[in-house]
Chain A
Amino acid sequence: MTIFRSHVLICGGTGCTSSGAAEVIGSFKQELARRKLDGEVLVVPTGCHGMCEMGPIVVVYPEGTFYCKVTASDIPEIVEEHIYKGRPVQRLMYEGPGGMSALPHYKDIPFYGKQHRIALANCGYINPENIDEYIARGGYEALGKAITSMTPAQVIDEVKASGLRGRGGGGFPTGLKWSFCAAAQGDKKYVICNADEGDPGAFMDRSILEGDPHSVIEGMMLGGYAMGADEGYVYCRAEYPLAIERLKHAITVAEGYGLLGDNIMNSSFSFHLHIKEGAGAFVCGEETALMGSIEGRRGMPRPRPPFPANSGLWGHPTNINNVETWANIPQIVGNGGEWYASMGTEKSKGTKVFALTGKVKHTGLVEVPMGITLREIIFDIGGGILDDKKFKAVQIGGPSGGCLTEEHLETPVSYESLTALGAIMGSGGLVVMDEDNCMVDVAKFFLEFTQKESCGKCVPCREGTKHMLLLLEKITEGKGTMEDLAMLEELAHMVRDMSLCGLGQTAPNPVLTTLRYFKEEYLAHIRDKRCPAGACTALLEYTIIQDLCKKCGICAKNCPVHCIPGDRKSGYLIETDKCIRCGTCFEKCPFGAIEKK
């Protein structure tokens, strides 16, 4: 076995790959070979490091020097200066907020300092296509321990003791859920991993599957052992080709090692894992629709009862968990449930992975202990609001979730505290909004999504969300009335109470929470025909500030609909009724003499 004096970890996740990480990896390998250093230095493509905003990310060990926004052209310098001469390259290091000096080390960077990576423990550290690296960091030990020295009931006890709750959004106690399936009658049982991750902007599950697929495989096997299932399915959305590829590869390799398949580790326990790709339907993230899809049927939800634990896939007892939930299992079984329960709050144990997006300085993937406040996540880890604008709201839980405001920033993040505020944890999507975001527009955006994704089976969701969307469109176009607002709220309650599945039941949440906390914005749109945030284009008015106007005519020349008559002598005027609110004049004016409101 070759011992390398230095490991260079380069993020190969989807985010960084689309920023050019593949070229960085290739270029690094090439440069090392050229300098004949490839026998001493190992390049390791890893999973997601989390700070996706700053990708492509390169971390050089043993020092742990963190380089960000690396391009292929930077490689010769890194190799020459850092690898060869031992002098880290300052200009590529992470710059702290507020003009702090460059922070070279991982652990010094606030983005990472407050995180506690458990589900993401291996992401960014190992090559996901190398099972030996997973094993070297303790992988498959928990499985071995369970098969050889624990009963299935004992495995379930550890999961119960951990306090782990479903990380897909439901928040149902995982150990309890497992005990239902374990107790169900039947010789044939299934476990399923829900990797459909349909929330727009969420990529927690994707990163885990791309960066550490074995953690999910091992977790599912532990679940199979505990519940008496010998077969499992990973239902992964087709829009994640890299995750599917990594998973397929991991399954093949694990089978080759005797860690998956018949008689695992020479025991009597056998487990087979299949992958089923989704086909572009958000509704297939709902567990009964998911199972219908695996069965080859149209992905539409079924009423429950019966619950999957008793009658699931092809009528057999089935346990479905989210990717992140499964990924936590090996460490819980390996380190014991109490270890996991030592983190978090009283009712929400452990950690949660969030996809921090929107108007923050550092968007990306973060894993934090439950109980951390929203302020810490957004400002300490996220680095605060982009361009130092004013925080307005944070949307939690994607299209099923709700918005919280400034007064809630001190809220500790946990299932109970969020539910009490009318929001939900969801799968972990956090969208930060600033003063330029219109909350009515935000509600409309999410409702557009759920309306498009509605399967069409039940009346409230199919027809109700359609009318809710029409009302929101009316309001954002300045044509809404107070009666429309009342009807919107009435519909929201009905759709929430009457829909067949979670999609419809939670679709009104963005509307209900924005109505609760941002009523004045709705009223401004209706009564004043004005969008306070300046986002709803139909309500925007572009005017020339005559005092600042230098009569250069650039706006008129660039206007696509020629609605700015005038000349260089007498000046220019924007004809509001012809204006299509494209914003070209606003952007082109060299003197900032055009205002929009």
Chain B
Amino acid sequence: MSEITLVIDGVECRASKGETILQVARKNDIYIPTLCWMEGLTPIGSCRMCVVEVAGNAKLLTACTTPAENNMQVSTKTEKLTNYRRQILELLFAGRNHFCMFCSQTGDCELQRLAIEHGMDNVRYPFLYETFHNDASDPNIQIDHNRCILCLRCIRVCAEKVGAHTLDLEKRGWGTNITADLGKKLGESDSCVSCGACAQVCPTGTITLRDFVYRGRRHDCDDQVESICPLCSLGCRIKAYVRTGSVVRVEGISGDSPDGGQLCHMGRWWLPKSTERERLSVPMIRSGSSFREASWEEAIALVAEKMKPALKDDKAGALVSELSTDEELTVISSFFRDTLEMKKMDGFYGNMLRGFVRGLKPFADQGVRPFTGAHNILKSDAIVVVEADPQEETPVAASYIRVSTVIERAKLINVSAGKNPFEGITDSDHRTTKKGMLSLLIALRKAVEGAEEDVSPEVKETAAILRNAKKPVVVIGSKLAEEDPRLVTEAVNLAVASKAFFEDGLGVVPMLRASNSLGALNTITGENDWVSDGQLDFLYVLSTGMVSEDKRSLEAMTRARFVVVHTPFMVHPLVNMADVLLPAPAWFERSGHYCTLEGERRRMNLVTAPVGNMKGLSVIMKEIAGKLGVEMQKASAAPCENVYEAKAPSDAARTVDSTLFAKEVR
């Protein structure tokens, strides 16, 4: 990393070889106007706004693409450059429909801002009044081509970060247009994953999201809070926009991060739209087929009254969402497990997590960390997807897989009993049945290790790919863990045999689904699946109300005699099961930590203060404890950060004999 020095607008700047003039300028707080450039995306130098004059070079160079050289003398704001930039802006305004008064993006538009900065009070070129089409075919994302300045940011983010490459250009010259899937309208596209990254990066009012346009104009928002998405295990960084006390828009944070600031449809839509749901704001007690409002005192007293006898008979249980924060999970486990010594505690994803824990345990016992940060998929050169559908389970992980395969040319191998989620871009596709999965995984591993007999040509080919790969990764679907932990062990065996060793752990990415599956492991995940059988007299349910409950949990709730549901929203059928409803803060009213699949613990920040008659979780538990006549014990659960620890480097891992582990029926 050699150091160089250059002068920009008379200011001496230090830089590293390889940095562009724009990067150096930004580091030194020297402003150069840009339009098509965006941090994290490949610079293309097409808008020409960032042109600079370099002494000794007759040509004007774009700062975003030109590498800085030692002793360069750069001028960024000469009269000639300013004149030319102004002409570029005027040409853009004259070319398509940029009448700000009727555009939803006014005030938020980078083209408008640049025009104001450059004093564009008139346009010398005739307005061409050409009509391009307004694509409203997609239910969520609208593309008004009349506003497009062809900065190509949407194309780049969709190709380079989301990996879908849905958008690209059609035609050429003046009639060039963004199009989906080589000539379709966006709503007809097969490859679009509806993540909305295109709208996030669009500098003008071309690509907009119907739900958040106008009302969610960033310019008009009172507050912007950086937080993380509390839904899936990746924990993508988000920015929540607040207007008059309500979350009106959620975006990712564009930049240099591996995910490029993309979100999935859940983070981008479910989070802000949840504010429209009916809130549970006061405790409610069942009265016939509906509920009546109650005070906290009455509600807590009733909860304690029903809990006491059930505890004695070991017929009390707690079902907790793995979307809870570390802090919430610690409180819950310290109350139920440490204080009440209640065995029957579990999470909604309990079976899946038990499958993963048991499957990964032999390797954790070797001292290695049996998984790697999900973004390392981008560094992989061979990815094996085992019974997973990442676009469903952890959408941005699917983006990593697509980008790694299509752009970085990694090999992609699918092993499944169901469909091939990456049909069209896989190099090998192994289909089997549920019963045949174990032997297939064993056969693949043996072939990688060198076995030659009874090896089918497809398995041989895949084994060769994995042997030659320098950084293979195995993605394990949640369905596999639910089915049989031995399958998980064999999938990890395959990774070990292929030498999938990363610095932070084994080259394994488990589809853990919930945002705090890792945090739940030490706290609320039960020893066994008591939920599926048994009749409970008392069941406490803590749900964030953001993800629908699964069949197992709902059936358990139906069977239980007395159900307490602690949740923020009046969502059905969850609240229908309840005898007592306790209001919980919604995602935007909570803060806390999550142990994410990206390999680090991240903090969710409070966006708006809780409304209604809210009580904190630890206060509620303390009051119930008081009514039960017990004192709250300190949490004994190990901090969830332990889950990232490793005593040995990943290449110390050895394969294990999965037959030694009997298949435990849940």
Taken residue by residue from 360 to 380, chain B's Cβ proximity to chain A (1 for < 8 Å, 0 otherwise) reads as: 000000000000000000000
Contact call B126/A462, Cβ cutoff below 8 A: no
Q: Which residues of A contact B26 (CB under 8 A)?
A: none
Query: Which listed residue, B48, B67, B168, touches A459 by the CB 8 Å rule?
Result: B48
Q: Which residues of A contact B173 (CB under 8 A)?
A: 451-456, 462, 466
Contact call A457/B46, Cβ cutoff below 8 A: yes
Contact call B172/A303, Cβ cutoff below 8 A: no
Q: Which residue of A lies closest to B124 (CB)?
A: A487
Interface assignment of A98: CB less than 8 Å from any CB of chain B: no
Contact call A456/B95, Cβ cutoff below 8 A: no
Contact call B44/A498, Cβ cutoff below 8 A: no
Q: When A463-B91, A467-B94 are in contact, do A458 and B169 touch as well, CB less than 8 Å?
A: no
Taken residue by residue from 125 to 157, chain B's Cβ proximity to chain A (1 for < 8 Å, 0 otherwise) reads as: 110100000000000000000000110100000
Kindly state the separation between the CA atoms of A454 and B152 in the bound complex, as whole angstroms: 16
Interface assignment of A500: CB less than 8 Å from any CB of chain B: yes
Q: Which residues of B contact A283 (CB under 8 A)?
A: 172
Taken residue by residue from 476 to 519, chain A's Cβ proximity to chain B (1 for < 8 Å, 0 otherwise) reads as: 00000000000100110010011110000000000000000000
Chain A residue total in the interface (Cβ 8 A): 31
Secondary structure type dominating chain B contacts: loop
Contact call B126/A498, Cβ cutoff below 8 A: no
Q: Which residue of A lies closest to B177 (CB)?
A: A456
Contact call A462/B150, Cβ cutoff below 8 A: yes
Kindly state the separation between the CA atoms of A453 and B46 in the bound complex, as whole angstroms: 17
Kindly state the separation between the CA atoms of A454 and B94 in the bound complex, as whole angstroms: 18
Q: Which residues of B contact A454 (CB under 8 A)?
A: 172-174
Contact call A303/B62, Cβ cutoff below 8 A: yes
Interface assignment of B51: CB less than 8 Å from any CB of chain A: yes
Kindly state the separation between the CA atoms of A433 and B157 in the bound complex, as whole angstroms: 50
Q: Which residues of B contact A117 (CB under 8 A)?
A: none
Q: Which residues of B contact A383 (CB under 8 A)?
A: none
Contact call B66/A303, Cβ cutoff below 8 A: yes
Q: Which residues of A contact B88 (CB under 8 A)?
A: 459-460, 498
Q: When A454-B174, A494-B87, A498-B51 are in contact, do A459 and B94 touch as well, CB less than 8 Å?
A: no
Q: When A303-B45, A466-B174 are in contact, do A298 and B84 touch as well, CB less than 8 Å?
A: no
Query: Which listed residue, B84, B94, B152, touches A463 by the CB 8 Å rule?
Result: B94
Contact call B48/A455, Cβ cutoff below 8 A: no
B24: min CB distance to chain A, Å? 15
Contact call A281/B125, Cβ cutoff below 8 A: no
Contact call A281/B126, Cβ cutoff below 8 A: no
Chain B residue total in the interface (Cβ 8 A): 35
B373: min CB distance to chain A, Å? 27
Query: Which listed residue, B44, B84, B128, touches A457 by the CB 8 Å rule?
Result: B44
Taken residue by residue from 158 to 198, chain B's Cβ proximity to chain A (1 for < 8 Å, 0 otherwise) reads as: 00000000001101111110000000000000000000000
Contact call B48/A460, Cβ cutoff below 8 A: yes
Kindly state the separation between the CA atoms of A540 and B115 in the bound complex, as whole angstroms: 43
Interface assignment of A99: CB less than 8 Å from any CB of chain B: no
A343: min CB distance to chain B, Å? 30
Q: Which residue of B lies closest to A304 (CB)?
A: B65
A455: min CB distance to chain B, Å? 5
Q: When A281-B172, A451-B173, A463-B94 are in contact, do A458 and B47 touch as well, CB less than 8 Å?
A: yes
Taken residue by residue from 442 to 475, chain A's Cβ proximity to chain B (1 for < 8 Å, 0 otherwise) reads as: 0000000001111111111011101100100000
Q: When A487-B124, A494-B84, A498-B88 are in contact, do A456 and B44 touch as well, CB less than 8 Å?
A: no
Q: When A298-B168, A302-B44, A500-B45 are in contact, do A457 and B60 touch as well, CB less than 8 Å?
A: no
Kindly state the separation between the CA atoms of A451 and B168 in the bound complex, as whole angstroms: 21
Most A C-beta atoms less than 10 A away, residue of B84, B124, B169, B173: B173
Q: Which residues of A contact B126 (CB under 8 A)?
A: 467, 470
Interface assignment of B412: CB less than 8 Å from any CB of chain A: no
CB-contacts of A276-314 with B (<8 A): 281, 283, 298, 302-303, 305-306
Interface assignment of B6: CB less than 8 Å from any CB of chain A: no
Interface assignment of B92: CB less than 8 Å from any CB of chain A: yes
Q: Which residues of B contact A460 (CB under 8 A)?
A: 48, 88, 91
Kindly state the separation between the CA atoms of A390 and B489 in the bound complex, as whole angstroms: 90
Contact call A462/B47, Cβ cutoff below 8 A: no
Contact call A500/B46, Cβ cutoff below 8 A: yes
CB-contacts of B64-98 with A (<8 A): 65-67, 84, 87-88, 91-92, 94-95
A142: min CB distance to chain B, Å? 37
Kindly state the separation between the CA atoms of A460 and B47 in the bound complex, as whole angstroms: 8
Q: Which residue of A lies closest to B51 (CB)?
A: A498
Q: Which residue of A lies closest to B58 (CB)?
A: A497
B582: min CB distance to chain A, Å? 57
Query: Which listed residue, A305, A306, A451, A490, touches B174 by the CB 8 Å rule?
Result: A451
Q: Which residue of A lies closest to B69 (CB)?
A: A305
Q: Which residue of B lies closest to A499 (CB)?
A: B48
Contact call B46/A463, Cβ cutoff below 8 A: no
Q: When A303-B65, A487-B124 are in contact, do A463 and B44 touch as well, CB less than 8 Å?
A: no
Most B C-beta atoms less than 10 A away, residue of A298, A306, A498: A498
Kindly state the separation between the CA atoms of A487 and B124 in the bound complex, as whole angstroms: 9
A490: min CB distance to chain B, Å? 8
Q: Which residues of B contact A494 (CB under 8 A)?
A: 84, 87
Q: Which residues of A contact B45 (CB under 8 A)?
A: 303, 458, 500
Q: Which residues of A contact B60 (CB under 8 A)?
A: 497-498
Contact call A498/B48, Cβ cutoff below 8 A: yes
B180: min CB distance to chain A, Å? 15
Query: Which listed residue, B44, B66, B125, touches A467 by the CB 8 Å rule?
Result: B125
Q: Which residues of B contact A498 (CB under 8 A)?
A: 48, 51, 60, 84, 88
Q: Which residues of A contact B67 (CB under 8 A)?
A: 305-306
Contact call B150/A457, Cβ cutoff below 8 A: yes
Most B C-beta atoms less than 10 A away, residue of A281, A455, A463, A467: A463
Kindly state the separation between the CA atoms of A305 and B65 in the bound complex, as whole angstroms: 8
Kindly state the separation between the CA atoms of A498 and B46 in the bound complex, as whole angstroms: 10
Kindly state the separation between the CA atoms of A466 and B66 in the bound complex, as whole angstroms: 28
A125: min CB distance to chain B, Å? 41
Contact call B91/A464, Cβ cutoff below 8 A: yes
Contact call A456/B48, Cβ cutoff below 8 A: no
Q: Which residues of B contact A499 (CB under 8 A)?
A: 48
Kindly state the separation between the CA atoms of A302 and B92 in the bound complex, as whole angstroms: 21
Q: Which residues of B contact A455 (CB under 8 A)?
A: 172-173, 176
Q: Which residues of A contact B91 (CB under 8 A)?
A: 459-460, 463-464, 467
- 12 residue pairs bridging A and B, Cβ less than 8 Å apart: A298-B169, A303-B65, A451-B173, A452-B173, A454-B172, A456-B150, A456-B172, A462-B173, A467-B125, A487-B125, A498-B60, A500-B45
- Pick the 6 closest A-B CB pairs, nearest first: A456-B176, A303-B45, A463-B91, A303-B65, A454-B173, A457-B46
B→A interface (CB under 8 Å): 43-48, 51, 59-60, 62, 65-67, 84, 87-88, 91-92, 94-95, 124-126, 128, 149-150, 152, 168-169, 171-176
13 more A-B residue pairs beyond the given contacts A303-B43, A456-B172, A500-B46, with a C-beta to C-beta distance below 8 A: A298-B169, A303-B45, A452-B173, A453-B172, A455-B176, A456-B150, A459-B91, A463-B92, A463-B94, A466-B174, A467-B91, A498-B51, A500-B62
